[in-house]
Amino acid sequence: MSLIRNKITYNAPSNPRELTQNPLKKIWMPCKNGLPEKHISQRKVCMTNCPTLIVTVGLPARGKTYISKKLTRYLNWIGVPTREFNVGQYRRELVKIYKSFEFFRPDNEEGLRIRRQCASAALNDVRQYLTSGGQVAVFDATNTTRERRDTILQFADQNGFKVFFVESVCEDPDVIQANIVQVKLGSPDYTNCNSDEAVEDFMKRIKCYENSYETLDEVLDRDLSYIKIIDVGQRYLVNRVLDHIQSRIVYYLMNIHITPRSIYLCRHGESELNVKGRIGGTLFAKKLNQFIQTQHISDLKIWTSQMKRTIQTAEALHVPYEQWKVLNEIDAGVCEELMYEEIQENYPLEFALRDQDKYRYRYPKGESYEDLVQRLEPVIMELERQENVLVVCHQAVMRCLLAYFLDKTAEELPYLKCPLHTVLKLTPVAYGCKVESIRLNVEAVDTHREKPKNVDVWRLSEDALLTVPAHQ
DSSP class of 101:
G
Q: Which residues contact 174 (CB under 8 A, 6 or more apart)?
A: none
Give the span between the Cα atoms of 240 and 395, in whole angstroms. 41
10 near other proteins (CB under 8 A): yes
- Identity at 305, one-letter amino acid code: S
Looking at the Cβ atoms of 296 and 318, the one nearer to other proteins is 318
CA–CA distance, 9 with 16 (Å, rounded to integer): 15
Q: Nearer Cβ to other proteins, position 180 or 338?
A: 338
The sign one gets for the Cα dihedral 185, 191, 195, 198 is: negative
| Among 38-46, 176-184, 273-281, 403-411, the segment contacting other proteins (CB under 8 A) | 38-46
Which of 66, 74, 103, 324 binds other proteins (CB under 8 A)? It is 324
Site string for other proteins, 126-155 (x = CB under 8 A): ------------------------------
Annotated active-site residue 329? The verdict is: yes
Q: Show contacts with other proteins in window 198-227 (CB under 8 A).
A: 222
Of 32, 113, 116, 235, which lies in the binding site for other proteins, with binding defined by CB under 8 A?
A: 235
DSSP one-letter string for 133-187: T--EEEEES---SHHHHHHHHHHHHHHT-EEEEEEEE---HHHHHHHIIIIITTS
Task: Give the residue with the Cβ less far from other proteins, 6 or 194.
Answer: 6
Set 84, 189, 221, 329: catalytic member:
329
Which of 306, 346, 356, 454 is the binder for other proteins (CB under 8 A)?
A: 306
Q: Which stretch binds other proteins (CB under 8 A): 108-116, 324-332, 393-401, 446-454?
A: 324-332
Q: Is 421 a catalytic residue?
A: no
Whether 110 is a known active-site residue: answer no
Distances (CA, A) of 201 to 57, 79, 99, 230: 21, 40, 10, 25
8 A C-beta contact, residue 404 and residue 380: yes
Residues 6+ positions from 247 with CB-CB distance below 8 Å:
241
- CB nearer to other proteins: pick between 103 and 324: 324
- Catalytic (active site) residue 268: yes
26 vs 91 by CB, closer to other proteins: 26
Does 17 interact with other proteins (rule: CB under 8 A)? yes
Interaction of residue 265 with other proteins, rule CB under 8 A:
no
Question: Please, is 7 exposed, middle or buried when counting C-beta atoms within 10 Å of its C-beta (0-12, 13-18, 19+)?
Answer: exposed
Q: Are the beta carbons of 338 and 277 closer than 8 angstroms? A: no
* Contact call for residue 320 and other proteins (CB under 8 A): yes
Separation between Cα atoms, residue 78 and residue 377, nearest integer Å: 7
Q: Considering only residues 42-81, where is the footprint of other proteins by CB under 8 A?
A: 42-43, 46
Residues lying near other proteins in the complex (CB under 8 A) are found at 5-8, 10-13, 16-17, 19, 21, 26-28, 30, 40-43, 46, 222, 234-241, 244, 247, 250-251, 254-255, 282, 285, 303, 306-308, 311-312, 315-316, 318-326, 365, 371, 374-375, 382, 385
Catalytic residues: 140, 170, 268, 329
